[in-house]
Structure 1
Amino acid sequence: MLVLLPPSEGKAAPGRGAPLRLDSLSLPGLAGARAAVLDELVELCAADEEKAREVLGLSEGLRGEVAKNAELRTAGTRPSGEIYTGVLYDALDLASLDTAAKKRAAKALLVFSGLWGAVRVTDRIPSYRCSMGVKLPGLGALGTYWRAPMADVMPEAAGNGLVLDLRSAAYASAWKPKGEVAERTATVRVLHAPTRKVVSHFNKATKGRIVRALLTSGAAPASPAVLVDVLRDLQYTVEVEKPAKAGQPWSLDVLVDEVH
């Protein structure tokens, strides 16, 4: 099972570990693309704070993020599972998982990123600010930029089992499963059952809880159909929209009564 996650906009404080080593990150086929984004981001943030703030879409209160980006090559690192914070990651609560579940998380979770393309939760990275929606002056829109590199590495990363896609739209634009990989991919929406609407906060929180439940249960569904059974066994209410034709992912709606 491979679980695709969005990152969080907010990040934890920089780590005290050794500086970034691009060659140590998972998915080494992305190394060249990562280096190109890193080079442009660092140069932009070091040269012109106002322009960098505009490009990155940062408010006045987030001005300090520009200086942080300028020092990405020398900043301390932490596992990305500690760097990413926010609602989904609070609900997932990687730090409190038992040893077996942490091992499953290290293998199963892949976090998409405007700067790194995608990283495992064990990959050591510095705290940064660069969403997939950013359009860098040189490389252009990152959602578009990452499509070719991700298309090269993701089929192998997906392996032969289930791909559970929990990414938001901006990050999903960087790689769309195709062919037989798409057929064993499931996307998930979380809906407030009484209104049938997506509510951002509890959508993220529920996705975090779902991933945590899968990791702690030891479940390893090999297909979307088996995932539906597993989620129902875990007491989730799931509605299924099977693909209309071959080469398309399954769409699952998880219905939640309480918004919390």
Structure 2
Amino acid sequence: MLILLPPSEGKTPASGGAAVDLSALSFPTLEIARKQVMESLAEVSGRDDALEALGVGASLAHDVERNRRLHAEPAAPAHRVYSGVLYEALGYASLTAAQRRKADASIVVVSALWGAVGFSDLVPAYRLSMSTALPGLGRLASFWKPLLTEALADRASEGLVVDCRSSTYAAAYAPPVSRTVTVDALTERNGKRTVVSHFAKHHRGEFVRHLLTRKGRMPGTPQALLTAARERWNAELHEGTGKKPPSLVLVLEG
């Protein structure tokens, strides 16, 4: 199984340790592109209009300043650096050793800076969104899309792809429709359903944790994924189209 996650907006900097080694990251064919993004990001982050260019407020000026020295910043495992709502719900630190190995083997984070990284890859904290356009590279989703299609081809062919990304990061890579299921959440109250927005990240994190901690094999088909989801949630599997994969919907009580 391949589980695709978005990065978190908030990131926890490593307290110490060696800097990132680009040659040691997963998907080594992306190394040159990663250097290009790092260099362009460092240049933009040193400009007078850096905050505006990166779409962030003054409270994140320190994060933007860090972008200028990512080659020297200490690195930590991706599952520790990414520390937002989804990752809190996933709770990597509280998994057993066997469950952590399963997470490391199955989870890939699609990133504006790295393209894609494994869950245990060592990376520094940074500030960059996939919707950003960088000098010489353009919109990062467009920049990464052909590169990720090639780099992830083998991983995406190994089994079911469970796509827990937001639309911003989904734009950078489209896994094979025939092998993919997206994960969404809806709230139902008095027969009326509404889309869960911010808290969808939390529920996706809980769902990934359930896949990692439940007994038995990882689901290999959309129907098996639905069966796994129904062990804990009221869930539905919505059919896809020729261009859109099926969607697993967690239906939550309002």
Give 1:107 shift.
0.6
Which one is further off, 154-163 or 20-29? 154-163
Aligned match of 1:160 = 158
1:54 partner amino acid: E
Count of residue pairs the alignment pairs up: 251
2:38 aligned partner: 38
Task: After TM superposition, give the deviation of residue 248 of structure 1 in Å.
Answer: 4.3
Alpha-carbon deviations, 1:209-234, whole Å to 9, x = none? Answer: 100011011441111111111111x2
Contact 2:44 2:53 in 1 (8 A): no
Contact 1:15-1:75 at 8 Å conserved across structures: no
Within 5 Å, which residues of 2 pair with 1:37-116?
37-46=37-46, 48=47, 50-116=48-114
Shift of 1:41: 0.8
Aligned counterparts, 1:240-259, within 5 A = 240-245=237-242, 248-258=244-254
CA distance in 1, matches of 2:134, 2:105: 31
SS in 1 for 2:247: strand
What's the secondary structure of 1:238's corresponding residue? strand
* Aligned match for 2:208, one of 211, 232, 245: 211
Query: Counterpart of 1:189?
Result: 184
Find runs of 4+ consecutive structure 1 residues off by over 4 angstroms.
none
Kept after mapping to 2: 8 A contact 1:162/1:222:
yes
Could you tell me the TM-score, scaled by structure 2's length? 0.94
Q: In percent, how many aligned pairs have the same letter?
A: 40
* Offset of residue 196 of structure 1: 1.6
Return 5+ residue gaps in structure 1 as ranges. none
> Cα offset for 1:55?
1.2
- Cα distance in 2 for partners of 1:139, 1:202 equals 32
The C-alpha deviation readout for 1:162-207, integer Å capped at 9, x for no partner, is 1000100010000112xxx311200111011224212223211111
Q: Which runs of 5+ in 2 are unaligned?
A: none
